[in-house]
Chain A
Amino acid sequence: DIVMTQSPDSLAVSLGERATINCKSSQSVLYSSNNKNFLSWYQQKPGQPPKLLIYWASTRESGVPDRFSGSGSGTDFTLTISNLQAEDVAVYYCQQYYTSPRTFGQGTKVEIK
C-alpha cells in the first residue's frame, strides 16, 4: 500500500497569512503515460463530510476559492492556503488514487493563531 504522510499534524496561522501543508507518498504517484499526478486534497470542517478541493495535484475543483492551490510532483506535494480566512479552519487530507487501496494522509488541522 502507498503510505501518505502529511506534515505538520497541526498548524496555527494568523488571519490573512499563508498556511502550507505538505504531503509525501511512499512511492511516486506520477503516471508516466499521461504525466499526471494521481493526488487529491480534501477539506473537512467539524461535523461535516470531507469536501474535494483539488485533484490531479493542482487542479482546483469548481467553486473552490483561488486562495487554495496545490503543487508538487512524484512523491512530494503541497497544499497552500494564501490569505487564510476564518472559514478555512478545518482538517485537510491528501489522498492518492494511483493504486488500490486508495490511501489518505493522517490529516493536518489548521487553526487561527
Chain B
Amino acid sequence: EVQLVESGGGLVKPGGSLRLSCAASGFSFSSYSMNWVRQAPGKGLEWVSFISSSSSLIYYADSVRGRFTISRDNAKNSLYLQMNNLRAEDTAFYYCARDQDSGRYYWFDPWGQGTLVTVSS
C-alpha cells in the first residue's frame, strides 16, 4: 500500500523555524517527484514546493521562496521541508503529496494525512 506519513508540525513563534518530514512507503520513492501542499484551517489548498526525483528540479511558491527549503533523501525514502522565518500566515496543515512522474509535474496522488503547523506568539 502506498503511504505517506508527515511529521514535525507543532507550535512555533513568528520568526522561528521548523522542519517537516514525510516518510514514504509502498512505492519506489526515488522514481517520483514529490510536493508539499498546505491548507490553512477552513481554507483552500495551496501548492508550496516541488522536487524532482533526483532533486535536479526544485520549485517554490512565491509566498515561501527564500524562507522554505525542500529536500529529499532517496536512501531513506524521505521528503523534507525546512521552514525558516515563519509567519502567522504560514499556519496550515502541510501535506506531502506524490507527483506522477520523475520530472515534470502533474496531479497529486496520493496525499499524506498532513501535519499542522501553527505560528503564533
Hey, which bits of chain A sit against chain B, CB under 8 A?
38, 40, 42, 48-52, 55, 61, 93, 95, 97, 100-107
Hey, which bits of chain B sit against chain A, CB under 8 A?
44-47, 50, 59, 61-62, 95, 100, 105-114
Interface of A is mostly: loop
Known: A49-B95, A49-B112. Is A101-B107 also a contact (CB below 8 A)? no
Cα A83 to Cα B98 in complex, Å, equals 31
Partner pick for B44 among A38, A40, A61, A104, CB 8 A cutoff: A104
Q: In the complex the two chains form, is A103's CB within 8 Å of B111's CB?
A: no
Across-interface contacts of B61 in A (CB, < 8 A): 101
Which one of B47, B59, B108, B110 has the highest number of Cβ atoms from chain A below 10 Å of its Cβ?
A: B108
What is the chain B residue whose CB lies nearest that of A41?
B107
Q: In the complex the two chains form, is B111's CB within 8 Å of A49's CB?
A: yes
What is the chain A residue whose CB lies nearest that of B104?
A97
- The 17 sampled A-B contact pairs (Cβ below 8 Å) are A40-B108, A42-B108, A48-B113, A49-B95, A49-B112, A52-B107, A52-B109, A55-B109, A93-B44, A95-B108, A97-B105, A97-B106, A100-B50, A101-B47, A104-B44, A104-B45, A106-B44
